[in-house]
Amino acid sequence: EVQLVESGGGLVQPGGSLRLSCVASGFTFSTYAINWVRQAPGEGLEWVSAISGGGETTYYADSVNGRCTISRDNSKNTVYLQMNSLRAEDTAVYFCARWISNYDYWGQGTLVTVSS
Amino acid sequence: QSALTQPRSVSGSPGQSVTISCTGTSGDVGSNNYVSWYQQHPGKAPKLIIYDVNKRPSGVPDRFSGSKSGNTASLTISGLQAEDEADYYCCSYAVTYVVFGGGTTLTVL
**Which residues of A are less than 8 Å from B1 in CB distance?**
61-62
Alpha-carbon distance of B22 to B86, in angstroms, equals 16
Mean pLDDT of A6-24: 98
**Closest approach of A84 to chain B, Cα-based (Å):** 21
Q: Which residues pair with B29 in a beta bridge?
A: none
Quote the pLDDT of residue B51.
98
| Total beta-carbon pairs less than 8 A apart between chain A and chain B | 56
Q: What is the pLDDT of residues A55-77, one digit of tens each?
A: 999 999 999 999 999 999 999 99
Q: Do B93 and A101 touch (CB under 8 A)?
A: yes
Contact A103 B48 (CB under 8 A): yes
Residues 96-115 of A with CB under 8 A from B: 99, 101-104, 106-109
pLDDT for the residue B1 = 73
| pLDDT, tens only, B11-29 | 999 999 999 999 999 999 9
- pLDDT(B74) > 90: yes
Query: Tell me, what's the pLDDT at A9?
Result: 97
pLDDT (0 to 100) of residue B95 = 83
CB-side exposure of A34: number of CA atoms within 13 Å?
A: 32
Whether the CB of A35 is below 8 Å from some CB of chain B: the reply is yes
What span, in angstroms and rounded, lies between the C-alpha atoms of B58 and A75?
A: 30
Question: Angle CA(A92)–CA(B96)–CA(B102) in degrees, nearest 5?
Answer: 40
